[in-house]
Structure 1
Amino acid sequence: MRNKLILLRHGQSVYNLENRFTGWRDVDLSEKGIQEAKAAAEKLKSQKIDQVYTSILIRAKHTYQIIEDIDGLQNVPLKEDKALNERKYGDLEGLNKADIAEKFGEEQVHIWRRSFDIPPPNGESLKDTYYRVIPYFKSDIKKDLDKGLNILVVAHGNSLRALVMYLDNLSKEEIVEKEIATGVPIIYDWPVK
């Protein structure tokens, strides 16, 4: 039987609810996000988890804390690392997406949000995020997977998109169309075929 790599985007954050660019701003879950984390915990009850990785941001850590409490994972080792943080949105962090679209145009905001290699002002592109996430995946997470451990990674839309791009061997054109829903586990058999 093959072991599992489970990827989970945190539940909806307060900034997701308010339509704000979040990035590295450390905002917590909304009430809906708490409910999404509880629903994810129910979906994961049947999965054996040996090791957990999260970003250092509260919305990912709080999502895992909810899962930990519901699924009884208190003795499972946890590693937190900023390599798994959301992409940095730079000057846009904390600002309303609709206001920014009005100021710079919807097309420009779409380019900043969805292109592979064009960052927002003073922020990271998905490509930059990829080159932060994948080395960490190879140096830490993959080693645990290769030991036969079942791994849960609780992170963010763009850090997980970078990881999915790598795992599924997606092109930069394919990954810009990929959405990662909040609170919905993505389960891979390891090794990925």
Structure 2
Amino acid sequence: MKRWWLWAGLGVMLLLIAAQQIWARGTWQDPVLGTTVVEATGSEVAGTLTAGALLAGAALLAGLVGSRPVRLAAAVCLAGGALLAGLPAVLTLGDPGEPLGQIARQRPGAASLSVHIDDPTTTLWPWLALGAAVLVLLGAVLCVLRWFDTGASRSPGGGAAATGTTPPGVSSTRRRERPRDPWDDLTHGQDPTVDD
């Protein structure tokens, strides 16, 4: 669960795929063509879906290569991208006829008509987009938790190495001793191969 980027990356990938798929369909009584099928893709239903996915993707890259402050900002952007992508999915699942009606009104000759969509239904893709937004939001939460864990691990501890004190029973001279290097002996004109 510590790999926040894995969940966020999976969510971004699913959001970009869902944007190109059909989210809702229904029928409309066209005054010229009669009963016609109206379909709406994710990008047509949710104008902020692709924007949220791209924002989350950019935040993901920034969080992977950035420092701790950048990672915190990336977590905030991930959460914002998840909201931008998830809210349209919730609205479409609640009322699929509204986006279908807007698409039908864009057809020639239908701008001045009262458009009523019959039998509006949703596909599986809005549910997958909502799940992908939840994954991005999970990645943001895990990124924040990772940010706090990294800060706690870098804080100074109470050990002897952190405080610079010498443990009891160990002299400071012994602590500073280092093994003799044969190259140092040669530098001082001594032959390290000859026993003292």
Relative to the length of structure 2, the TM-score reads 0.28
Report the structure, 1 or 2, having the larger helix content: 2
Greater radius of gyration (CA) = 2
The TM-score with structure 1 as length reference comes to 0.28
